[in-house]
């Protein structure tokens, strides 16, 4: 509240002097009754609610459309490129959505008041878990397709997710303002591919706002309200699905919930089905897009819940919240996601480990799809082994760690979970140094398996040759090949069965450059397949460095070995003795580089006739080096900074 609210500034100051705490308390109360005025949810019965999501391939304009919808409903003030729902720094910097976000809009249409709950979702494959979670809280979805690009790989997969949940799907063709846009062809493509109603597609420009009002009308007219409550909600037992959460320093975990039945309000005592912990509800409300308290939340509504959960982990995604007095059967929740890409995360400075661990945990609390376990390495000291959903997920995590926690970290080369069946026992290897050596494999008969994915690529047919070549270089087996209908230029939809390990490193970059950025790619976890795998040990000065070990397919071992020894040669500082860098399978080196000794010019200042002294000095240097070398065998120390450069390069 501004000072001008008081007759004179002095009046305010004198009030503060009298009792600062009482003053602050009354200010907060005033604030909550003015700017944080409660929305009366009785105004929005179930039939006036629409819960929907915007789903699309990456960059097709979901966040831009969300901004326009928020502006048109006066939820935010108009302004270009706000990307209001992309709250994380990494999202704004990279222009991608990583976490799904929500906002409620109050919309007057044909004389009625509607509550529209929009849940924005990420586009990238690594975050499809967020998409499926968000769809769990929706009754409909806007399927957004870029009019210059047409259907892409992710369009197919998000459509699949939405139709599996029986959502009403409204196709929206975006970017029709661009000269290269072909809205009619893309509409036809979408309607044929997805067997949707011929009149339902809406051509729009999310950027200019053209036709966006029609999208709002379609949301109200076509998306069904949540199924009605059989009896008045207040008489029904509460069943709320916890579908997301965020952390607030002062109030702890704030949960996003969808009320499947009953109602919830301040003062209710609720229970988490997952942990059986009890909480007293402190506040409920809707995100508009900032938190706005409401009198209560009831059947069909989506909103936030503050109930004194101190840790984010208490807000278990997929949990059912119910009233202590009325126990219920839990909702089906969500399938837990399995991280498929693992990497070691170590501090650049060993004494920062505890701080790093704390930071990693804080980040992962907000991201339940990441797993964390302690790991120790003889080269890098104490660190954490973190499991991610994919390579971009890992990159985003690294960036968030650096942005939000000011920590520089060494992240080891990513690895996938391999399966080893040995002596009748099955185990999953997530750390390469735990993979059996060749002699261990031959002693006990062992079978090795690696995870495969079902991958889909959509690409203009002029790049078909490059994609086929790339996929076969990455050990992919082609499963299907179709031309997409109504596509100009002609485009091909390819399906592959490919090892996950082949696509978690630089695959995207290669695909992008092989197809000038025109290919779209998507994959889903498939199965484990028997594979001829080997552990590649990297030896520096004849000693294996555990943090650099990797598991590779035998056919790739030579190329990978050569690549890494040369990479290492570039980052290891010269020593006063010769250093061998080798890559070996078991005891057998298969690639080698040598870093020559640093040669001090001991003959400097000796001219012409001082030949004997020159020779003597050089011989002394040689003897000195021999001594040093022996001493150094146990001593060679790779600076952490070299690892940092190595993993970044």
Chain residues that interact with ligand GTP, rule: CB under 6 A: 56, 58-64, 81, 95-97, 122-123, 174-175, 177-178, 205-207
Q: Is 173 annotated as a binding residue?
A: no
Angle between helices 391-405 and 353-365 (to 10 degrees): 120
> Strand, helix or coil at 30?
helix
Dihedral over Cα of 109, 112, 115, 116: its sign: negative
DSSP single-letter state for residue 201: -
Task: Compare residues 45 and 122 and give the one whose CB is closer to ligand GTP.
Answer: 122
DSSP lists the bridge partners of residue 584 as 537, 589
Q: Is 177 annotated as a binding residue?
A: yes
Task: Compare residues 396 and 501 and give the one whose CB is closer to ligand GTP.
Answer: 396
Q: Shortest Cβ distance from residue 443 to ligand GTP (Å)?
A: 50
Q: Shortest Cβ distance from residue 183 to ligand GTP (Å)?
A: 11
Q: Is 214 annotated as a binding residue?
A: no
* Tokens, residue 310: 């101190």
Q: Shortest Cβ distance from residue 58 to ligand GTP (Å)?
A: 4
The residue whose Cβ lies closest to ligand GTP is: 123
Task: Compare residues 91 and 291 and give the one whose CB is closer to ligand GTP.
Answer: 91
Task: Compare residues 60 and 299 and give the one whose CB is closer to ligand GTP.
Answer: 60
Q: Is 433 annotated as a binding residue?
A: no
Q: Shortest Cβ distance from residue 314 to ligand GTP (Å)?
A: 29
Q: Is 123 annotated as a binding residue?
A: yes
| CB-based burial label for 18 (10 Å; 0-12, 13-18, 19+) | exposed
Residue closest to 309 by CA, chosen among 261, 399, 242, 382:
242
Contact 136/241 with Cβ under 8 angstroms?
Answer: yes
Q: Give Cβ neighbours of residue 463 (< 8 Å, ≥ 6 apart).
A: 514, 515, 516, 518, 519
d(CA 158, CA 151): 11
Q: Shortest Cβ distance from residue 94 to ligand GTP (Å)?
A: 8
Q: Is 63 annotated as a binding residue?
A: yes
Q: Is 619 annotated as a binding residue?
A: no
Q: Is 62 annotated as a binding residue?
A: yes
Tell me how crowded residue 87 is: count the other CB atoms within 10 A of its CB. Answer: 14
Q: Is 204 annotated as a binding residue?
A: no
Task: Compare residues 83 and 576 and give the one whose CB is closer to ligand GTP.
Answer: 83
DSSP single-letter state for residue 335: P
Task: Give the DSSP H or E segment for 580.
Answer: strand 579-585
Residue closest to 639 by CA, chosen among 561, 584, 574:
574
Q: Is 175 annotated as a binding residue?
A: yes
What ranges in 461-531 are assigned the alpha helix state H?
464-473, 507-514
Q: Shortest Cβ distance from residue 414 to ligand GTP (Å)?
A: 22
Task: Compare residues 62 and 316 and give the one whose CB is closer to ligand GTP.
Answer: 62
Q: Is 61 annotated as a binding residue?
A: yes
Q: How far apart are the first and last CA of the chain?
A: 52
Q: Is 488 annotated as a binding residue?
A: no
Task: Compare residues 93 and 112 and give the one whose CB is closer to ligand GTP.
Answer: 93
Which residue in this structure is represented by tokens 């996950």?
500
Q: Shortest Cβ distance from residue 367 to ligand GTP (Å)?
A: 16
Q: Shortest Cβ distance from residue 324 to ligand GTP (Å)?
A: 39
Q: Shortest Cβ distance from residue 627 to ligand GTP (Å)?
A: 59
Q: Is 219 annotated as a binding residue?
A: no
Task: Compare residues 58 and 241 and give the one whose CB is closer to ligand GTP.
Answer: 58
Tell me how crowded residue 217 is: count the other CB atoms within 10 A of its CB. Answer: 13
Task: Compare residues 58 and 138 and give the one whose CB is closer to ligand GTP.
Answer: 58
Dihedral over Cα of 409, 410, 414, 419: its sign: negative
Q: Shortest Cβ distance from residue 592 to ligand GTP (Å)?
A: 44
CA 181 to the chain's CA centroid = 30
Tell me how crowded residue 539 is: count the other CB atoms within 10 A of its CB. Answer: 18
d(CA 29, CA 49): 30
Residue closest to 449 by CA, chosen among 417, 415, 416, 419:
419
* Tokens, residue 358: 């704390």
Task: Compare residues 169 and 410 and give the one whose CB is closer to ligand GTP.
Answer: 169
Q: Is 108 annotated as a binding residue?
A: no
Q: Is 25 annotated as a binding residue?
A: no
Task: Compare residues 301 and 520 and give the one whose CB is closer to ligand GTP.
Answer: 520
Q: Is 359 annotated as a binding residue?
A: no
Task: Compare residues 120 and 502 and give the one whose CB is closer to ligand GTP.
Answer: 120
Region at 318 (left for phi over 0; alpha for psi -120 to 50; beta for the rest): left
Residue closest to 597 by CA, chosen among 627, 616, 617, 577:
577
Q: Shortest Cβ distance from residue 106 to ligand GTP (Å)?
A: 23
Residue closest to 388 by CA, chosen among 131, 99, 649, 126:
126
- In order, the DSSP letters of 136-187 are TT-SEEEEEEETTT-S-HHHHHHHHHHHHTT-EEEEEEE-TTSTT--HHHHH
Tell me how crowded residue 381 is: count the other CB atoms within 10 A of its CB. Answer: 16
d(CA 397, CA 410): 12
Q: Shortest Cβ distance from residue 134 to ligand GTP (Å)?
A: 13
Annotated binding site for GTP: 56-63, 120-124, 174-177
């Amino acid at each position: 509240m501004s000072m001008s609210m008081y007759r004179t500034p002095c009046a305010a100051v004198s009030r503060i002097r009298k009792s600062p705490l009482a003053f602050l308390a009354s200010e907060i109360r005033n604030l909550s009754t003015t700017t944080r005025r409660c929305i009366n949810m009785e105004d929005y019965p179930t039939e006036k609610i629409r819960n929907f999501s915007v789903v699309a391939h990456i960059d097709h304009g979901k966040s831009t459309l969300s901004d326009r919808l928020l502006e048109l409903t006066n939820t935010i003030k108009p302004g270009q490129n706000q990307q209001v729902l992309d709250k994380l720094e990494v999202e704004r910097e990279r222009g991608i959505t990583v976490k799904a976000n929500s906002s409620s809009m109050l919309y007057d249409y044909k004389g009625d008041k509607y509550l529209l709950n929009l849940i924005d979702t990420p586009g990238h494959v690594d975050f499809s878990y967020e998409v499926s979670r968000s769809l769990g809280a929706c009754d409909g979805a806007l399927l957004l397709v870029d009019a210059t690009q047409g259907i892409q790989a992710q369009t197919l997969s998000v459509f699949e997710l939405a139709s599996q949940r029986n959502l009403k799907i409204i196709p929206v063709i975006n970017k029709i303002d661009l000269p290269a846009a072909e809205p009619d062809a893309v509409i036809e493509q979408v309607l044929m591919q997805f067997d949707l109603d011929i009149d339902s597609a809406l051509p729009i420009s999310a950027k200019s706002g053209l036709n966006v009002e029609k999208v709002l009308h379609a949301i109200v007219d076509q998306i069904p309200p949540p199924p009605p409550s059989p009896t008045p909600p207040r008489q029904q037992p509460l069943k709320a699905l916890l579908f997301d959460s965020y952390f607030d320093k002062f109030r702890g975990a704030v949960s996003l919930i969808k009320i499947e039945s009953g109602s919830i309000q301040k003062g209710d005592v609720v229970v988490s089905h997952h942990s059986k912990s009890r909480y007293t509800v402190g506040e409920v409300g809707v995100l508009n897009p900032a938190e706005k308290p409401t009198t209560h939340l009831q059947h069909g509504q989506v909103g936030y819940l503050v109930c004194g959960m101190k840790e984010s982990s208490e807000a278990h995604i997929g949990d059912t919240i119910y009233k202590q007095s009325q126990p219920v059967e839990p909702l089906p929740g969500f399938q837990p996601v399995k991280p498929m890409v693992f990497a070691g995360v170590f501090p650049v400075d060993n004494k920062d480990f505890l701080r790093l661990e704390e930071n990693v945990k804080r980040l992962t609390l907000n991201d339940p799809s990441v797993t964390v376990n302690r790991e120790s390495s003889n080269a890098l000291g104490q660190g954490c082994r973190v499991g991610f959903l994919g390579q971009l997920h890992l990159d985003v995590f690294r960036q968030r760690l650096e942005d939000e926690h000011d920590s520089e970290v060494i992240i080891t080369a990513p690895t996938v979970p391999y399966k080893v069946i040995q002596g009748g026992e099955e185990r999953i290897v997530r750390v390469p140094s735990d993979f059996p050596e060749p002699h261990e494999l031959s002693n006990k008969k062992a079978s090795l398996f690696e995870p495969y994915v079902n991958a889909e690529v959509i690409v203009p047919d002029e790049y078909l040759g490059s994609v086929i070549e790339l996929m076969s270089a990455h050990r992919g087996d082609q499963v299907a090949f179709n031309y997409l209908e109504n596509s100009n230029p002609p485009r091909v939809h390819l399906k592959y069965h490919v090892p996950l390990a082949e696509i978690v490193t630089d695959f995207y970059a290669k695909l992008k450059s092989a197809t000038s950025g025109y290919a779209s790619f998507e994959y889903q976890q498939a199965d484990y397949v028997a594979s001829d795998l080997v552990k590649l040990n990297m030896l520096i000065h004849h000693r294996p460095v555990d943090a650099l070990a990797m598991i590779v397919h035998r056919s790739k071992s030579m190329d990978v070995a050569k690549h890494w020894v040369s990479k290492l040669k570039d980052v290891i500082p010269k020593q006063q003795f010769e250093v061998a860098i080798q890559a070996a399978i078991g005891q057998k080196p298969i690639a080698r580089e040598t870093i020559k000794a640093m040669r001090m010019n001991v003959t400097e200042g000796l001219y012409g006739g001082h030949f004997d002294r020159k020779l003597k000095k050089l011989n002394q240097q040689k003897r000195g080096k021999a001594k040093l070398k022996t001493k150094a065998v146990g001593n060679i120390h790779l600076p952490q900074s070299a690892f940092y450069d190595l993993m970044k390069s």
